[in-house]
Structure 1
Amino acid sequence: MDATPPSRPASWPRLAPEILAQRIVGLTRGARLTVLGLGPDGIGDILDEIPERSCGALLVAGEDRSTAVILDRVLDDLADLVLAGWPPDDPGASAPIASLDPWRKAAAKCVRAGLAPRFRRMARDLEFARLLGAVEPAGPILVWEVDPASGARAAPVIEALEWCARHGAANVATLCVPPPPVAPYDRILYGAVELARPPRAAGARFIAPATGAHHASAAEQRVAAALARDADLAGLFLCNAPVPVGPWGARPRVDLLCPAHRIVVELDGPEHRAEPKFGADRHRDFTLLTSGYLVLRLTNAQIAADLPLAIEKIRAVVDLRRRPRGETSR
C-alpha cells in the first residue's frame, strides 16, 4: 500500500482577492498567514484592493540561501528602507541629536552621511526590532516566497520567517502551488488559505500580435485612448511597440513609443516594484537612454487616480523634446 501522504487536504479555504487583502493587512505583530496559489509579486495586486491601507509590505529576497544569510538580507533591506524614508524634519536628521537614544543617534549619523543604518555588531534581534519600527510604527508585513517543490530550499526560508515572527514581524508565506504536508511545509500549512481566482475572459488571456494597446492592460488602453483624443498628442505614440537598441540590434517591446521624438513611456503595474522586474526595468531604462530615448515611467495606480495628470506629464516630455536644443522653459 502506498503510504505517501496526500499532497493537500480535501480543500483549503478559498478567499476572494478583497477578502484576502483584508486578512493580510489585519495581521498583527508576530502573526503569520500562508497563501497558496500565489507568488510574492501577486501580493501587490492583492493589496491594491485596499488603496488607502496604513501598512506596507516588503517582498523578501529569500532565494536558495542559509537562514543566517536570508536574515542578514532582511536587515539590509530594512536599513535601506529606513535610509530612504527618514523624515527630513526628524531631529535625527540634523543637530542637535543629544537627546536621542543611542540607536537613533547612531542611525541619524548614518542618514546624515547618506548611509543605511546597519550595525552588524548589534544583536540581530535588537537591530531587527529597531529597523522594523523605524520603517513603520507597526512594522511592514514581510512577504516570503517558499519553494513548494524542494524542502531543502524551503527550509531556510521557513526558519527565517519563523524567526521574524518570533521577533515581532507580521509575515505572509506564498507558495504558487500547494506543497506536500510534510516537513518542513507542515510548519506553515496550519491555517493556510488559497486565492480564489475568478475565470478570466478571453480578451484578458489574448496576447496581441501587433503594436496596438495590450489587451491585458487596462491602464495602457486608457492612456492610448486619451492620447488618441488629444489634438496635440494624437498620432505620436505607438502602443506595445518594439524599439531597436543596443549594439546587437536588440528590440525590447515598450508600452508607448514616440518614434518622432524618441520618447518611451512605460506603464508599470505592482509587479514592477520588486525583483527581478525592478532591476530589469532599470537596465532597460539604461539601454534606452544610451540609445537616445527619453524614458517616462508612470504607475497603473497613478493612471487610475488621475488620467489627465498622466497625459499632461506625457505632454511635458514631448514639449521638452520639441524644444530647440539650448532653449530653456519659461
Structure 2
Amino acid sequence: MRSWAALPTGKVVRLEGAGPLPLAVDSLPREAPAILTCTAREARSPKALASAILDELDATVLGLFPAWLPDAEGIDGPGGAGLAAVRTLALRTAATSAHFGPFLAELAARALRARPGRLPDLRASLSPEIRPSGFPPEVRAAGLARALAAAFSRPGAALLVDVPEGLSPAGQEALVAAGEWLAHRAGLGIWLSGPLPAVDRVETVLVAEAPSQAASRPEQQITPGRTGHPPVAGRPHPASAAEHALEAALSGCAWAAGRAWNQTIHPGALASPVRADLVWQDEWCVVELDGPDHRELDKFTTDRARDVRLQIAGYAVLRFTDVQVLTDPQAVVRHIELFLRNRRVSQEG
C-alpha cells in the first residue's frame, strides 16, 4: 500500500482504495503533488480528450493567477503597462526556474487580462484575448503542469480522475491513451479511480485513504468533464463568483484589514481541521458563503456540525448565501462590518 506522496507522476495508474472524490488535498503531506480532480467522460478520440483536458487546465491556471507568479500581486497599469510588467516578471521567473519563459510570459499576460472578478468563471466564455495562443500542445501541457505545481508550492501535479461505471470500452481506451500522452508530455500523474475492465496495460496501485478525508468537506463539486481543485490559501477560490464579489466589495474597506481567505483552522488538538471561506483571526470571526448545495440535508447537517466545533473553540460564524453576496454585496459587507466593530469594542473593553 502506497501513501499519496509516494504515488508516481509521469505515468498512468489505477488506484484501488482511493475513497470518494473530491479528495481532501489539504490533509496530504507537502511532498505530495498538487492534485486536481475530474470525472471521466466519453470522448471521440484520445486527441480530442487530451485537448479538452488541456483547455480545462488552462482555465484553471488562469483562475489561480497570481499564485504561480507571486510577485505579480498588484501588477496593473494604464495603457498596457501592467501587461508589459507581468511579461517581464514572468521571463525573470523562468530564467531561474524550470518554466519556459515565452509560454509563462504569454500565460501571465492572459491571466492579467482575465483577473478574477471580471470573468469569475473562465470556462463559461473565453474571450478572444484570453484564449490559448499558438503554442504546441506539448509546450502547453508541460507549462500548465509547472504552473499548477507552483501555485500550490508542490513538487509536481497530478490529475485524479473518477472513472464512472458504464464508461464504454472505447471511452476507457481513449481515457488511458490521453492520460499516457499527458503523463509523458507534461510529467503529470494520471491517477484513475474506478473500473477499467477494457484496458489491461494500466498498473493498479493500492493507496492509503487520505488522512481526515471523511471529516473534510469537498472544496469544489465535481462536474463531469470539469477539473476541480482546492483553493489557494489566502485567495478567493477561482471558481467562486461569490468569493470574488465579496473580496471586491471588501478591498476598499480599511476596517476589513486582517481578513484571510480559505484558511484551515484547527479548533482543537483532537478536533478535525476545518476549511473556512473567510476568517478574521484576531477577532475570531469566520464567514461562510453557501451555494445551493448547502440546502441539501447532508451538507446542511455537516455545516451545523462544523459551526458547533468552531463555536466551541471560540469562533463566531457568519453565514451568507452566494445569492445574497452576488445580488447585494454591500448589505453583506455592512453586516460583517457591524459584527467586527462590535467584536473589537468588546475585545478592547
Aligned length: 220
Q: Distance in 1 between matches of 2:34 and 2:149?
A: 8
SS in 2 for 1:52: coil
Deviation at 1:21, TM superposition (A): 1.8
Q: What residue number does 1:146 align with?
A: 163
Does 1:85 pair with 2:65?
yes
5 Å-filtered alignment, 1:162-201, equals: 162-177=180-195, 179-180=196-197, 184-188=198-202, 190=203, 192-195=204-207
5+ residue gaps, structure 1:
1-14, 198-216, 220-267, 286-296
Distance 1:70 1:317, change over 3 A: same
Report the aligned-residue RMSD. Answer: 4.6
Q: What residue number does 1:12 align with?
A: none
Distance 1:328 1:20, change over 3 A: closer
Q: Distance in 1 between matches of 2:140 and 2:336?
A: 51
Q: What residue number does 1:20 align with?
A: 3
Q: Distance in 2 between matches of 1:324 and 1:38?
A: 42
Specify which structure has the bigger relative contact order, considering alpha-carbon pairs within 8 angstroms and separated by 6 or more residues.
Answer: 2
Q: What amino acid does structure 1 have at the position aligned with 2:48?
A: V
Q: Distance in 1 between matches of 2:60 and 2:285?
A: 31
Q: What amino acid does structure 2 have at the position aligned with 1:152?
A: A
Work out whether residues 144 and 171 of structure 1, in 8 Å CA contact, stay in contact via their aligned partners in 2. Answer: no
Q: What amino acid does structure 2 have at the position aligned with 1:141?
A: A
Q: Distance in 2 between matches of 1:275 and 1:61?
A: 7
Q: Deviations over 1:210-236 (max 9, x none)?
A: xxxxxxx985xxxxxxxxxxxxxxxxx
Q: What amino acid does structure 1 have at the position aligned with 2:112?
A: R
Q: Distance in 2 between matches of 1:126 and 1:162?
A: 16
5 Å-filtered alignment, 1:29-68, equals: 30-38=10-18, 41=21, 44-45=23-24, 50-53=28-31, 55-66=33-44, 67-68=46-47
Deviation at 1:163, TM superposition (A): 0.7
Q: Which has the larger radius of gyration?
A: 1
Normalising by structure 1, report the TM-score: 0.51
5+ residue gaps, structure 2:
76-81, 92-100, 116-121, 123-129, 229-238, 243-260, 287-314, 320-330, 342-349
Q: What amino acid does structure 1 have at the position aligned with 2:163?
A: V
Q: Deviations over 1:80-110 (max 9, x none)?
A: 3322232352399544345834323322221
Distance 1:52 1:113, change over 3 A: same
SS in 2 for 1:60: strand
Q: Deviations over 1:288-320 (max 9, x none)?
A: xxxxxxxxx9888765347996974262528x9
Distance 1:317 1:120, change over 3 A: same
Distance 1:142 1:306, change over 3 A: closer
Q: What amino acid does structure 2 have at the position aligned with 1:194?
A: L
Work out whether residues 18 and 208 of structure 2, in 8 Å CA contact, stay in contact via their aligned partners in 1. Answer: no
Distance 1:316 1:53, change over 3 A: same
